[in-house]
Chains A and B, each alone.
Chain A
Amino acid sequence: MNAVAYVHEQLTPKKEFPKFKAGDNITVNYKIIEGGKERIQGFRGDVIKRQGTGATQNFTVRKISDSIGVERTFPLLSPNIESILVNKVGKVRRAKLFFQRERSGKSARIKEKKMAVATV
Chain B
Amino acid sequence: MKAIIGKKVGMTSIFGTDGKQTACTIIEAGPCVVTQVKTKETDGYNALQIAFGDKKDKHATAAEKNHFAKANTPAKKISREFRDYSIEKILGESITVEIFTEGEKVDVVGTTKGKGFQGVVKRHGFSGVGQQSHGQHDRQRAPGSLGNSSDASRVMKGMRMAGRMGGDRVKLKGLQVVKIFPEKNYILVSGSVPGHNGAIVFIQK
Contact = CB atoms under 8 A, between A and B. Distances in A.
Interface string B23-65: 0001010000000000000000000000000000000000000
B9 A3 contact: yes
Interface residues of B, number: 17
Interface size class of A (residues with CB under 8 A): 10 to 19
A54 B10 CA distance: 13
The SS class assigned to the B binding surface is: strand
A79 B19 contact: yes
A77 B15 CA distance: 8
Interface in A1-18: 2-4, 6-8, 10-12
B13 A55 contact: yes
B15 A3 contact: no
Given A55-B12, A55-B14, A7 B188 contact: yes
Contact of A3 (B13, B17, B19, B186): B186
A75 interface: yes
Contacts of A3: 9-10, 26, 28, 184, 186
Interface centre among B9, B14, B17 (most CB of A within 10 A): B14
Contacts of A4: 9-12, 26
Given A4-B12, A7-B181, A55-B12, A78 B186 contact: no
A80 interface: yes
Given A54-B12, A56-B12, A7 B26 contact: yes
B184 A6 contact: yes
Given A7-B14, A56-B13, A75-B15, 13 more contacts: A2-B9, A2-B10, A3-B10, A4-B26, A6-B181, A7-B26, A7-B179, A7-B188, A8-B12, A54-B12, A55-B12, A75-B21, A80-B19
Interface of B: 9-15, 17, 19, 21, 26, 28, 179, 181, 184, 186, 188
25 contacts: A2-B9, A3-B26, A3-B184, A3-B186, A4-B10, A4-B12, A4-B26, A6-B181, A6-B184, A7-B26, A7-B179, A7-B186, A7-B188, A11-B14, A11-B179, A12-B15, A31-B19, A54-B12, A55-B12, A55-B13, A56-B12, A75-B15, A78-B15, A79-B19, A80-B19
